[in-house]
């Protein structure tokens, strides 16, 4: 069975990231590069991780006019990432342009298209922060609206909170891949993640991939922490 653990490389520079990759590649399904690492280490960090044969999830949450997002997705595809994120609130045309760019660029370079993942409502939002920006003040309804739009636009995956998985599975096409952060084993100390599930619970609810950061990279022994999580899943 495929290893669903994607380790979030939330570290500031390439050397720390590569050290984690070295330790964790044999026990992980892939690595997530976000804004902090990408802005400091650049596309070269993606190439260096790909050289080691690991899957890369480029989490830059693109949100712009359709043409600009399509070009960014094309660049990420040429860079060789397997997953990337866009904001579903960028709208139907933007999402469709992103998916098309992934498919067409992959065809040109003769590889598989990366999974373009839609981000719905950020977990830092609640009813009042949604209302503040002029959206319906109901997080669940807004997530459902954006997830439905993403599926219509042809996206093949979404990032969601682990507590949204069961609801999303009720109405999304079954091929839609769900990627979830907010995973905690119960063994680590409390941090800013408030609404969490364990790896086992998230997989049982229907997650395809688990994005896990601090419970692995901040553990005393990151490799052992990842192994323990794997054992809890299979």
Q: Following DSSP, what letter does each residue of 143-208 receive, concatenated?
A: HHHHHHHHHHTT--EEE--GGGHHHHHHHS-TT-EEEE--B--SSSPP-S--S-B-HHHHHHHT-S
By C-beta, is 11 or 95 nearer to ligand C5P? 11
Q: Which residues contact 149 (CB under 8 A, 6 or more apart)?
A: 88, 91, 92, 95
Please identify, among the stretches 18-26, 91-99, 148-156, 207-215, the one whose residues bind ligand C5P according to the rule CB under 6 A: 207-215
By CB under 6 A, tell whether 185 contacts ligand C5P. no
By CB under 6 A, tell whether 123 contacts ligand C5P. yes
Among residues 87, 34, 82, the alpha carbon closest in space to that of 61 is found at 87
Q: Which of residues 146-175 bind ligand C5P (CB under 6 A)?
A: 159
Q: Out of 32, 61, 71, 107, pick the active-site residue.
A: 61
How many Cβ atoms from other residues are within 10 Å of residue 23's Cβ? 17
* Residue carrying the six token digits 């991780």: 49
By CB under 6 A, tell whether 182 contacts ligand C5P. yes
And the tokens for 52? 């080691």
The nearest distance, CB 218 to ligand C5P, in angstroms, is: 7
Q: Which of residues 20-39 bind ligand C5P (CB under 6 A)?
A: 34
Residue 61 among the catalytic residues: yes
By CB under 6 A, tell whether 214 contacts ligand C5P. yes
Active site residues: 61
Binding residues for ligand C5P, per CB under 6 A? 8, 10, 34, 122-123, 159, 181-182, 193, 211-215
């Amino acid at each position: 069975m495929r290893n669903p653990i994607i380790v979030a490389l939330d570290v500031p520079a390439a050397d720390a990231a590569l050290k984690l990759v070295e330790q964790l590649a044999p026990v992980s399904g892939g690595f997530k590069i976000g804004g902090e690492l990408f802005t400091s280490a650049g596309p070269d960090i993606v190439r260096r991780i790909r050289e080691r044969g690991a899957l890369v999830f480029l989490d830059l949450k693109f949100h712009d006019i359709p043409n600009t997002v399509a070009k960014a997705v094309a660049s990420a595809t040429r860079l060789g990432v397997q997953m990337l994120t866009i904001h579903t609130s960028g709208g139907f045309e933007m999402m469709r342009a992103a998916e098309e760019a992934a498919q067409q660029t992959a065809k040109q370079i003769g590889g598989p298209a990366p999974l373009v993942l839609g981000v719905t409502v950020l977990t830092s939002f609640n009813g009042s922060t949604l209302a503040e920006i002029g959206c319906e003040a109901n997080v669940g309804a807004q997530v459902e609206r954006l997830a439905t739009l993403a599926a219509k636009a042809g996206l093949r995956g979404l990032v969601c909170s682990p507590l949204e998985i069961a609801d999303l599975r009720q109405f999304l096409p079954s091929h839609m891949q769900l990627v979830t952060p907010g995973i905690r084993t119960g063994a680590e100390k409390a941090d800013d993640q408030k609404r969490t599930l364990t790896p086992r619970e998230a997989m049982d609810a229907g997650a395809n991939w688990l994005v896990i950061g601090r419970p692995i990279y901040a553990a005393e022994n990151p490799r052992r922490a990842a192994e323990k999580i794997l054992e809890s899943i299979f």
